[in-house]
A and B are shown apart, each in its own frame.
Chain A
């Protein structure tokens, strides 16, 4: 499948409400991400950021009670997690589980859609070659986990990539490297007309955003998208006034 339509929609979320166990976590979410766009999702702990990502990926613990999710024009609301992955949705986890006995090299080969030489080159850039023969994510430090996830995403090569806190627990000097690689994975180092990927990044404080070309930002607060706009403007507002300002803005709109 090839997608050349510039400005076409990659992901569309319509009136989405989600519950976990018996608790409604997300309420009436609307979000459109176009092909070639990267969005960032801000929000305090417990706002529902992880729930949104898990719902998009298709984790069965998260139940859609209303609304729908559309990917490349297809309704994926009831699609299984692996079918969504096959369609081109990928997630770089914040805290992935270890998979004992499964070497990272073997997992990469199983999920890979790119040549092995390219994966090796990326492992080299990430300074992660020594970890290829380790059990996937077993005993990895915070920073090592991030590199493992980025390498897997590179191998999986999805069209729509979500990054859950890609810079948490990463040394300051490594944030730049990861940010640049994420920018590359999202085609942001290409001409606008050649960009085929889209992304959604969750981050707390946005240090990594200095190195990623983000188009739009959203603030998730208490299960609703309280505010959307230019990433710099929103980040500056949050830094200056905190999340309270966002709620105020949301309540005014209501």
Chain B
């Protein structure tokens, strides 16, 4: 439940921003994308047709649901399936709004600031509400999938994740279009709350089509000793993605690690960044991004560390490979220090594939194409040492599958 004041405030702000473009990324004409309903209901992910199952499996979703603690599936704007095998609560956001007082969680760390967030606030919107009760440490990953199932559909999402005190959860999110869908829009608001001593690992694989626009808006709030690990992977072509999630390390000794792996291909326009505000005493952040710009793609890799708290430490590592003369790779690492006694650093490097590595691998019998693809896979490989072993294995498997087609 939301208070009347909150509902009114949301409505008023959304009306105000209904037509306001975002500061980054190309402006999208929202009228082209219709807000569809999906009246499908399924009893298990295996009820999906073979093509859809294959598509989901490609982005790491276990459609047999063997090694997962729960599943969530949204098609267009409707939740068609939720299941949980553990103490973790997974319900549609619409239900959560009836069940809980969410004034302090709903539109709280993500603000309505552009036409995309306004659309999520004003129109039919799906989304998940996940709550990990105090002290529950779930090691098996929970999987959430978001499918655009109809041509030119606008998929609106509002997610909330609450990891209560001392709780832990690993979420794998796969986003894709149904096999026959070519064009669409995905607008997703995600608000994550990690309470004292909580830990959330969030791994997201995107596999959109070449005519899909994507505008996620994400905010994460971390309390004392809380840990947030985010892995984001986009390897297949997309029309455009623009996202600049913000993580607030507000608690003492809170910690955030954000890894982004991007492969810009064909005409993709990708503008991605991570921003961490370090205000909690002794809080830590690592932003790591690996970007490749190929074909006619445009890739912008942003990163911003804001140092506000005592004894904070942050590092930003941004590496890029540009392998086509008609591509563009623009790296923007920013450090914003607002007090003394802090430690912020960054390293950024953009270059081509090293000739020496290529010759080395070819002298071992790899063709030039094989050598290039191995170097690219290596470049895009993520550091999984921070993940629990079962999850690291799952992510490794997903990465292998995603990179297989290269």
Residues of chain A at the chain B interface (Cβ within 8 Å): 57-60, 80-82, 84-86, 90-91, 93, 96-102, 107, 110-111, 135, 152, 156
Contacts and interface: CB of A to CB of B under 8 A. Distances in A.
Given A97-B357, A99-B357, A82 B363 contact: yes
Interface stretch (B45-53, B68-76, B365-373): B365-373
B274 to A, nearest CB: 20
Given A97-B356, A97-B357, A85 B362 contact: yes
Contact of A97 (B354, B364, B368): B354
B interface majority secondary structure: helix
Interface stretch (B180-188, B192-200, B377-385): B377-385
B378 A82 contact: no
A84 B370 CA distance: 16
Contacts of A107: 361, 364, 374
A102 B356 CA distance: 15
Interface in B365-405: 365-368, 370-371, 374-375, 377-381
Given A101-B377, A102-B374, A135-B378, A152 B364 contact: yes
Contacts of A59: 359, 363
Interface of B: 354, 356-357, 359-368, 370-371, 374-375, 377-381
Nearest to B354: A97
Given A58-B363, A85-B363, 11 more contacts: A57-B363, A81-B362, A82-B362, A97-B356, A97-B360, A98-B357, A99-B357, A99-B360, A99-B375, A102-B378, A110-B366
Contact of B380 (A85, A91, A97, A101): A101
Contacts of A111: 364-366
A85 B365 contact: yes
Contacts of B356: 97
Nearest to B357: A97
B318 to A, nearest CB: 15
11 contacts: A58-B363, A59-B363, A81-B359, A82-B363, A82-B371, A85-B362, A91-B363, A98-B357, A99-B378, A101-B379, A156-B365
Given A101-B381, A102-B375, A102-B378, A96 B360 contact: yes
B364 A85 contact: yes
Contact of A81 (B363, B378, B379, B381): B363
Nearest to A155: B364
A99 B364 contact: no
A90 B379 CA distance: 25
Contacts of B366: 82, 110-111
A86 B365 contact: yes
A85 B368 CA distance: 12
B42 to A, nearest CB: 38
B378 A101 contact: yes
B39 to A, nearest CB: 45
Nearest to B290: A101
Closest 4 CB pairs of A and B: A101-B378, A101-B381, A102-B378, A85-B365
Contacts of B371: 82
A82 B362 CA distance: 5
Contacts of B367: 82
Contacts of A99: 357, 360-361, 374-375, 378
Contacts of A86: 365
A91 B364 CA distance: 8
A135 B360 CA distance: 15
A93 B366 CA distance: 16
A249 to B, nearest CB: 34
Contact of B378 (A84, A100, A156): A100
A195 B108 CA distance: 75
Most buried by B among A81, A84, A156: A81
A91 B363 CA distance: 8
A107 B370 CA distance: 12
A58 B359 CA distance: 9
Contacts of B362: 80-82, 85
In this complex, which of B357, B371, B379 has the most chain A Cβ atoms within 10 angstroms of its Cβ?
A: B357
A58 B354 CA distance: 17
Quick one: which of B360, B366, B377 has the most chain A CB within 10 A? B360
A96 B368 CA distance: 18
A84 B367 CA distance: 11
A232 to B, nearest CB: 31
A110 B379 CA distance: 17
Contacts of A85: 362-365
B317 to A, nearest CB: 12
Contacts of B359: 59-60, 81
Contacts of B368: 82
A128 B51 CA distance: 45
Contacts of A96: 360
A253 B74 CA distance: 85
A86 B378 CA distance: 23
A99 B359 CA distance: 12
Given A100-B379, A102-B377, A156 B360 contact: no
Contacts of B379: 100-101
B315 to A, nearest CB: 18
Nearest to A108: B364
Contacts of A58: 363
B363 A110 contact: no
Contacts of B378: 99-102, 135
A119 to B, nearest CB: 14
Nearest to B381: A101
A97 B371 CA distance: 13
Nearest to A57: B363
